Amino acid sequence: MDATAFKLLERKRRFKRQTLEIAKRRILRREPATVLAAAYKVHLKRIYTIEKQITAAWRELHLPAGWSEITLVAPKPLIAEFKRRSRAAREQLLRKTQRRVQSTLRSKKA
């Protein structure tokens, strides 16, 4: 993640200002979690939770090539099923891409 990713997160997701500040310092500047916990007077676990939430939000927003974003209004079970299938499709695309990269690397070594 970089500064551009954080700008996108700020526009697309509603995180509190302090949460984004902590995440930027932790993820971009690689500041120790203990230092951040002391500076913001929060539990160490909260720092790790923020890092996890921001990273997960970025993964959701960062779409593969050829994908687009929609807003879906439907019953909760249908949305849950859609999310499950979408996640599976992304994982399948990722595995396929990784296999291509590995194949390319193997052919370059040969």
- 16 lies in the same domain as 47: yes
For residue 76, what pLDDT band results from cuts at 50, 70 and 90?
very high
Q: Which domain holds residue 28?
A: 1-62
Sequence-separated (6 or more) residues with CB below 8 Å from residue 104: none
Residue 97, φ and ψ in degrees, nearest 5: -65, -45
Q: Do residues 6 and 23 touch, judged by C-beta distance below 8 A?
A: yes
CA distance 43 to 86: 34
Sequence-separated (6 or more) residues with CB below 8 Å from residue 24: 3, 6
Model pLDDT, residue 24: 92
Residue-wise pLDDT tens digits, 49-74: 999 999 888 877 777 667 777 788 99
- 81 lies in the same domain as 54: no
Residue-wise pLDDT tens digits, 78-99: 999 998 998 898 888 888 888 8
**pLDDT top residue among 71 and 31:** 31
Model pLDDT, residue 110: 63
- 8 lies in the same domain as 51: yes
- 51 lies in the same domain as 7: yes
Q: Tell me, what CATH number does 36's domain have?
A: 1.10.10.2690
Q: What is the mean pLDDT of the chain?
A: 86
